[in-house]
Chains A and B, each alone.
Chain A
Amino acid sequence: MEELPEDIKRLDERIKNFRQKTNAESKVKKSQTRIALEGMFRLATEFVSPVLIALCLGYLVDNLFNTKPIFMLITAMFGCAAGVLNLYKAAQQMDEDINKE
């Protein structure tokens, strides 16, 4: 396939950026009550679920290779990190929703 000229590539990039920007602007502001309700139910499970999934995976791998509890401990650490990452993302999104113009 023929390589696109540099200016066309730049134009394509600008169109993509513009689409992304207009889409971000098109999001409607949420009411405070909805943000609070969503946060209330979201935050706890967002942290707990990756930890549980990681523990289950670690348990399965340990059972498979008979290495109890090495993989469970390793995956538990990754699970906690994923839980914190989930919380961070959720909090960041709530912050964006609150500060939306």
Chain B
Amino acid sequence: MENPLEQFAIKKLVPLDVNGIDVSFTNSSLCMLITVVFILLTLGWCLRKRNIVPSMGQAFSESIYDFIRGIIGETMGNDGAKYVSLIFALFLFIACGNILGLFPYSFTFTSHIAAVGTLSVFFLLLNIAFGIKRRGFGYLRTFFPEGLPWIMAPLIIPIETLSLLSKPFSLTIRLSVNMSVGHIMLEVLGTFILAMGILGFIPLIADMCIIMFEIFVALLQAYIYTTLSCVYLSQAISGEE
């Protein structure tokens, strides 16, 4: 039986080494590149003719945009209007990465803690930068909320710091675990199709059902990741908890 974890193996396509640091172009990098090119080409094609009465492609891309505006409206209110492009890019990158990873011989980079973790840490740093830009030194109130007695500081500051540091970690674990589990299940059931001979249609039907479920999970996880990123961004810029 084939190892179901083999599908997550990183393979070097173009080995590169800069001052002893491995920066090789891998199958993960290739899939990220394909995702970005796919998004650019699809949106470019959909929006090639911009009319007041939209074509099907234009309506499709506008509906995604409206969906993102909806998420931002729910979590950040009017304050979020200037972050639409950032959140839109984030959602499309994760959603397309999840969906493209479902294709045979493809690679799901969103199942890798390193890839998603880097994105989440980058987003945390952006949150801190936006928070400081918006609230100045008031951002430090995140670590010690107003109204608390100073004697509580040694207790509250480490707790709030851990709470802040845990945000990218929880985003990463949620997305990568959900994506890897689905793919492992698909692979395990896939091996049963041949192994069970004439009864192989049973795991085949189960596999088809799981594929449908995985498409749903892929989009749902992109939605959850985006919504929570908006919630964290909203907390950083407004100071509301």
Contact = CB atoms under 8 A, between A and B. Distances in A.
B28 interface: no
A71 B147 CA distance: 29
Interface string B69-100: 01001111111000000000000000000000
Interface residues of B, number: 31
Interface residues of A, number: 34
A53 B169 contact: yes
Interface string A17-51: 00010111111111000100110011001101110
What is the interface of chain B mostly: helix, strand, loop, or mixed? helix
B157 to A, nearest CB: 10
B199 interface: no
Nearest to B221: A41
A37 B165 contact: no
Interface of A: 20, 22-30, 34, 37-38, 41-42, 45-46, 48-50, 52-54, 78-79, 81-83, 85-86, 89, 92-93, 97
Interface of B: 70, 73-79, 158-160, 162-163, 165-167, 169-170, 173-174, 178, 220-221, 223-224, 227-228, 231, 238, 240-241
Given A38-B228, A81-B159, A86-B163, A27 B74 contact: yes
